[in-house]
């Protein structure tokens, strides 16, 4: 018998398993952030160096994003059939293969192989995204937003520390005779291996398999109250998360270029310091206050918190548009952008989870991660063209259309429960 089938399901025992799961997932997010922070910080540099063309530097991030989108649904299917433990492990193990390919590609100066490696690395990002949903598998309605947001918050640690391992990693790589700029990937490999061991050993019982058992047991009771499926609400949740992500990526991706133009004439060191500080504060906005938004989602409601996020995104876009010529205003805009993304993502992900019946939940979660990744990639590509056409301030106003759509469609997220067994969304 599996550990899930042997475990009793009293409320106290389920609560204990949930607390353990949140801690395991949070530690996994720290390791994942360390792994991918070091990886992605060098991606653009490697792409430009191997291809010999700076215009190809953005293809590394694009390949990772595409890989994330392509593996989100398959990993969700693995979770559905075999549990979160196998799904998260599979994502990290696949990404590990991608890291090896990147090192081989740099050694052989093969640009196609380099992009293939980054594409496969996207599976690890998909696993990291899935972790927030895993935190909600056993959560109650009263704590679902908080538990999900804690796992999102844990990303902060790895995201901040990961890029700072580039220097030490290069020293170690040089000592071992590795190809130039690949030394930091040693830390990526170590962090991913530790995450794999963590999930295999510590995520027992599997939260999704246990949740499925609880639902099956409840369904066998004539007096059971089974959560109704709400496909319309689920569609809105998917849209709200994707729209917030597209808004965030479109502006964030173009900000370093815009800041470089604003600081033209300053020393390269000064320019890089301004860009680095702005992006660091943006990342802090994305993750550091996510527990606050999780609590708000539990206390005020999912849709009201999504609307708070849209208000923050609107404030960010207006600040970026009317303060486009000020580095201080752009920095403030990026912080607000991160906060708006955080509120919308935490509340939207929570809403999606509880608007979906158990048999449809993991599939929709995979669709949500696929959609947000595709929208983010498309937004980053389109933003470059818009920036060249009407500038940074104009770009911010164009992106406001996504915020307006999320606000106008909010009533869809407030629909009452539909009869169980309705059309899938």
Name the pLDDT band for 416 (thresholds 50, 70, 90). Answer: low
CA atoms within 13 A on the CB side of 114: 27
Closest CA to 407 of 340, 362, 329: 340
Between 321 and 415, the more confident residue is 321
Per-residue DSSP letters for 113-159? HHHHHHHHHHHHHHHHHHHHHHTTSS--TTTHHHHHHHHHHHHHHHH
Range of lowest pLDDT (53-57, 177-181, 394-398, 402-406)? 53-57
pLDDT at 163: 65
Residue 206 has phi, psi (to 5 degrees) of -70, 125
Is pLDDT of 380 > 90? no
pLDDT at 414: 85
Domain assignments of the chain as residue spans, ordered by start = 3-219, 231-414
Please write the tens of the pLDDT for every residue from 135-157: 999 999 899 999 999 999 988 88
Same topology, domains 3-219 and 231-414? Answer is yes
Q: How far is CA 123 from CA 39, 70, 95, 368, 370, in A?
A: 13, 8, 5, 15, 11
Per-residue DSSP letters for 356-409? S-HHHHHHHHHHHHHHHHHHHHHHHHHHHHHHHHHHHHHHHHHHHHHHHHHHHT
Is 231-414 in CATH node 1.20.1250.20? yes
CA distance 240 to 238: 6
Is 3-219 in CATH node 3.30.9.10? no
Task: Enter the pTM of the model.
Answer: 0.84
Helix axes 144-161, 111-134, angle to 10 degrees: 150
Range of lowest pLDDT (186-195, 222-231, 383-392)? 222-231
Is pLDDT of 105 > 80? yes
Closest CA to 16 of 145, 149, 154, 204: 204
Is pLDDT of 420 > 50? no
Is pLDDT of 289 > 60? yes
CA distance 217 to 229: 18
Q: Which residues contact 375 (CB under 8 A, 6 or more apart)?
A: 242, 243, 245, 246, 249
Q: What is the 3-state secondary structure (H, E, C) of 24-41?
A: HHHHHHHHHHHHHHHHHH
CA distance 188 to 100: 10
20 and 123 in contact (C-beta within 8 Å)?
Answer: no
pLDDT at 265: 75
Is pLDDT of 313 > 90? yes
Is pLDDT of 403 > 60? yes
For the chain, give percent helix, strand, coil, nearest 5: 85, 0, 15
Is pLDDT of 418 > 50? no
Whether the ω angle into residue 73 lies within 30 degrees of 0, i.e. cis, is: no
CA distance 173 to 191: 16
């Amino acid at each position: 018998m599996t550990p899930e089938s042997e475990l009793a399901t009293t409320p106290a025992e389920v609560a204990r398993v949930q607390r353990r799961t949140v801690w395991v997932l949070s530690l996994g997010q720290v390791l994942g952030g360390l792994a991918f922070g070091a990886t992605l910080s060098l991606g653009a540099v490697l792409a430009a160096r191997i291809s010999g063309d700076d215009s190809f530097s953005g293809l590394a991030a694009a390949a990772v994003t595409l890989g994330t989108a392509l593996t989100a649904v398959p990993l969700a299917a693995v979770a559905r059939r075999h549990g979160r433990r196998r799904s998260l492990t599979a994502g990290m193990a696949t990404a590990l293969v991608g890291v090896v390919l990147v090192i081989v590609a740099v050694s052989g100066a093969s640009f196609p192989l380099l992009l293939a490696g980054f594409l496969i690395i996207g599976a690890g990002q998909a696993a990291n995204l899935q972790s927030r949903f895993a935190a909600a598998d056993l959560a109650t309605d009263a704590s679902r937003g908080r538990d999900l947001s804690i796992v999102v918050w844990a990303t902060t640690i790895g995201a901040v520390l990961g890029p700072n391992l580039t220097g030490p990693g290069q020293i170690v790589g040089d000592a071992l005779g590795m190809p130039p700029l690949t030394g930091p990937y040693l830390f990526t490999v170590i962090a991913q291996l530790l995450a794999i061991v963590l999930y295999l050993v510590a995520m027992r019982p599997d939260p999704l398999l246990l949740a499925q058992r609880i639902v099956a047991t409840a369904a066998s009771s004539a007096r059971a109250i089974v959560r109704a499926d709400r496909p319309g609400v689920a569609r809105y949740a998917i849209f709200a998360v994707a729209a917030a992500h597209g808004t965030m990526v479109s502006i964030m991706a173009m900000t370093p270029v815009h800041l470089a133009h604003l600081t033209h004439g300053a020393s390269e060191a000064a320019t890089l310091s301004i860009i680095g500080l702005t992006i660091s504060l943006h990342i802090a906005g994305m993750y550091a206050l996510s527990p606050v938004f999780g609590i708000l989602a539990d206390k005020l409601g999912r849709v009201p918190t999504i609307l708070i996020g849209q208000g923050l995104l609107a404030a960010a876009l207006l600040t970026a548009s009317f303060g486009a010529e000020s580095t201080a205003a752009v920095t403030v805009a990026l912080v607000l952008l991160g906060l708006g993304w955080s509120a919308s993502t935490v509340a939207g992900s929570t809403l999606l989870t509880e608007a979906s019946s158990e048999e449809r939940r993991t599939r929709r979660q995979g669709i949500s991660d696929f959609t947000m990744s595709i929208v983010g990639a498309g937004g980053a590509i389109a933003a470059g063209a818009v920036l060249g056409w009407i500038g940074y301030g104009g770009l911010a106003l164009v992106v406001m259309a996504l915020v307006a759509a999320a606000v106008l469609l909010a009533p869809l997220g407030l629909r009452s429960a539909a009869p169980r067994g309705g059309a899938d969304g």
